[in-house]
Amino acid sequence: MQTRHTDREKYFWEQAVTSEKYFFPFIEKLKPLSTDTEVLEVGCGDGGNLYPFVIKNCKVTAVDRDPNRIQRAGDFFDSHGYKVRLLHEDIFMLADIGLFDIILMNDVIEHIPNPHKTKLLGLLKQWLKPNGIIFLGFPAWQMPFGGHQQICRNSLLAHLPFIHLLPLPLYKSLLKAFNEKENNIRELISIRESKITLEMYYRLVKQLGFKIMDERLYLINPHYEVKFKLKPKILPKAVQKVPLLRNFFTTACFAALAAEN
């Protein structure tokens, strides 16, 4: 397992840096932000993505079903005197959360079981104010680390690309051979089962009546800058146009979605 997944403070600031440098400008270009801007993050984790919105005094709400992550986010923001509405909830169980100008959902949809992806995006659409936007970020399944194998306890497995694309029995056998714990194996298999490709994403957008206001497919994920000192790089246009193939090279998709109807 890479150290950023165990050092939570480091992980928070890595997220905050990426959000401030890349998420925030991507969103603000389409939706100018002010102290009246209502922001929701779904799957907020420790809260790092929210940092630039909080320091700009936006009205921020964050939801996560992991109580430990909500607690860490609350501890951080409270200790710095920032006001954030934090909810420890299952997103599907929320009844009246309000309406928002901006909804963030980064590195979440690939963890949602496929039958529930449509329901989740439908809920987010309901929670948008008129002219609101959803920021959606995710890695394409077939990209080198699309299986999130970086969470493996074994250092070699954590740095091996494409192993998640092995046939399932072989993948399980490999994880067991390197003594991955059962709960980690279950999580990795769950990620495999809930995978998302670019083609699936485009179908969901069309099915739910969204329009893509802006989109960037990255060959080098912007988050790799703070993690690995690699400069972000957009996937060449020629590759972006090739279905299936583009999934192997898209380490991150950033999309701004608005309701079409």
How far is residue 259's CA from residue 131's CA, in Å, rounded to a whole number?
Answer: 8
**Beta bridge partners of residue 100, listed in sequence order:** 128
Tell me the mean pLDDT in the region 4-26.
89
* pLDDT for the residue numbered 8: 84
Instruction: Please say if the pLDDT value at position 252 is more than 50.
Output: yes
- Superfamily designation of domain 3-142+195-259: Vaccinia Virus protein VP39 (3.40.50.150)
For the chain, the average pLDDT equals: 96
* pLDDT for the residue numbered 13: 94
Q: Say if CB 203 and CB 213 are below 8 A apart.
A: no
* pLDDT for the residue numbered 96: 83
How far is residue 255's CA from residue 136's CA, in Å, rounded to a whole number?
Answer: 5
Buried b / exposed e over 236-245, threshold 16 CB at 10 Å, is eeeebeeeee
Tell me the mean pLDDT in the region 102-120.
97
Question: Quick one: pLDDT band at residue 7, thresholds 50, 70, 90?
Answer: confident
Instruction: Please say if the pLDDT value at position 5 is more than 50.
Output: no
Instruction: Please say if the pLDDT value at position 261 is more than 90.
Output: no
> Long-range CB contacts (< 8 A, 24+ apart) of 114-123?
114/193, 114/194, 114/196, 114/200, 116/92, 117/196, 117/200, 117/204, 118/204, 118/207, 118/208, 119/92, 120/42, 120/91, 120/92, 121/204, 121/208, 121/210, 122/208, 123/91, 123/92, 123/94
The domain locations on the chain are 3-142+195-259, 149-193
